[in-house]
Chains A and B, each alone.
Chain A
Amino acid sequence: MSKKMIASCVLALGIGCATAAVSPERLAATEGAIRAADEMGAAKVPEAALHLQLAKDQEEQAMKLLNNGEKKRGEVLLMRAQSDAEVAIAMAREPTVKADAQQALDRVKALEEQAGQRK
């Protein structure tokens, strides 16, 4: 990696220059996100399931690279995996939240109709 690249490497949201060994925190964050996505039921929501699988595949790839000593690439793949897992979590939540909102709107509509009939 050139000096220029190192200098321009911004520590934006955990994206840093992976010149050191992968940190336990990085690994834990990725595994934690994947586990959370699993527990949220991401596998049952089609779009979420896609991202969950991407996360798992990339994590597996990352571990192979790390075991081969390719720490920089391995860490970046862990970050990719974590980002996919986070999207999977959000996509797993979305249908339930939307359904709750719709149910609340339906209740209001029913009550408004009832109020209209009383007049």
Chain B
Amino acid sequence: MIRISSFALGGLSLLLLAAGCAHSPPKELVEARSAYERASQGPAAQYNPTELYQARQVLDHANRLYESDPGSDYTRDVAYIALRKTELAEVDGRIDQANRQRAEAQRRYDQLAQTQLAQSREELNKTKEQLAAEQRAREDALNSLSKIAKIRQDRRGTVITLSGSVLFASGRSTLLPDARSKLDQVAEALKNAKDQTFIVEGHADSRGSTPLNQTLSERRAETVSNYLVERGLSPDRVKSVGYGKSRPVASNKTAEGRANNRRVEIVVQREQAPDKG
């Protein structure tokens, strides 16, 4: 039986202990190695390779120091710095990645905004063209009435004047047969003015009493107004009013003047500017 002295056993234990310590790297080096492994598979490798390489150099230095002087404070210090440099590379890698994402998003945003702007402009131009075409149609329609009515512009809007004798028999408010065809043309022309309102005004000359002229002018205006509504104009957009003899356009001293004063005016009101409130 082999007897081993306690002294030898103690020495052997110390040797084993020393061997175990010499082969266990310090925790700073273990962490640095692990951090580098992680960093080399993350954004740092793609976006910040230079810093990662520099961290690698320090880690390599720490590894060499560990081989030559495993237990020294300096080895642990260099490993610590390697760990921090790796962590720095990781954070800077994430920062660079985020900056690139932001830049790409900004580029995409600018591109989309440009496209939308171009689309809006195209839509606006189409709308303008459409409005211009509608305006031309309205003007053409009104101009076509010049053969049967006087057309003029004043502060109220476009005024279409029809002679009273063309529309009504003397003293009456019933439409003459030929009046209907003329009013049909007027209605057709006014249908193009989709968003505008119309006021039908009845006027009389100075002969006869004021109440009589007032009543006659109101009835005549209403007759024309009702006829236009029958022909398709929206009742919400047509109003009628009688002014009797209060608004002459010519002298009532002559027959011609009185004839001019006996009239129906259809006022196409000017479009109101939007309330900017």
Cβ of A57 < 8 Å from any Cβ of B?
A: no
- Most chain-B CB neighbours within 10 Å: which of A2, A5, A101, A112? A101
B79-123 Cβ-contact flags toward A at 8 Å (1 or 0): 011001101100110110011011001101100110110010000
Q: What's the nearest-Cβ distance from chain B to residue A25, in Å?
A: 17
Q: A10-B57, A104-B105 are in contact. Are A83 and B95 (CB under 8 A)?
A: no
The residue on B at minimum CB distance from A79 is B81
B58-88 Cβ-contact flags toward A at 8 Å (1 or 0): 1011001100110001100110110011011
Contacts of A1 in B (CB 8 A): 74
Q: A13-B57, A15-B78, A108-B112 are in contact. Are A101 and B65 (CB under 8 A)?
A: no
Majority secondary structure, B binding face:
helix
Q: Judge whether B69 and A5 touch: CB under 8 Å.
A: yes
Q: A108-B108, A111-B112 are in contact. Are A87 and B68 (CB under 8 A)?
A: no
Contacts of A80 in B (CB 8 A): 77, 80-81, 84
Number of interface residues of A (CB under 8 A): 37
Which of B88, B99, B113 has a CB less than 8 Å from the CB of A87?
Answer: B88
Contacts of A98 in B (CB 8 A): 94, 98
B24-66 Cβ-contact flags toward A at 8 Å (1 or 0): 0000000000000000000000000000001001101100110
Contacts of A93 in B (CB 8 A): 95
Q: What is the bound-complex CA distance between A76 and B68, given in angstroms?
A: 19
Contacts of B92 in A (CB 8 A): 90
B238-263 Cβ-contact flags toward A at 8 Å (1 or 0): 00000000000000000000000000
Q: Besides A5-B65, A83-B81, A108-B109, 4 other CB < 8 A contacts?
A: A76-B77, A79-B77, A105-B101, A108-B112
Q: Which residues of A contact B (CB under 8 A)?
A: 1-2, 4-5, 8-10, 12-13, 15, 51, 73, 76-77, 79-80, 83-84, 86-87, 90-91, 93-94, 97-98, 100-101, 104-105, 107-108, 111-112, 114-115, 118
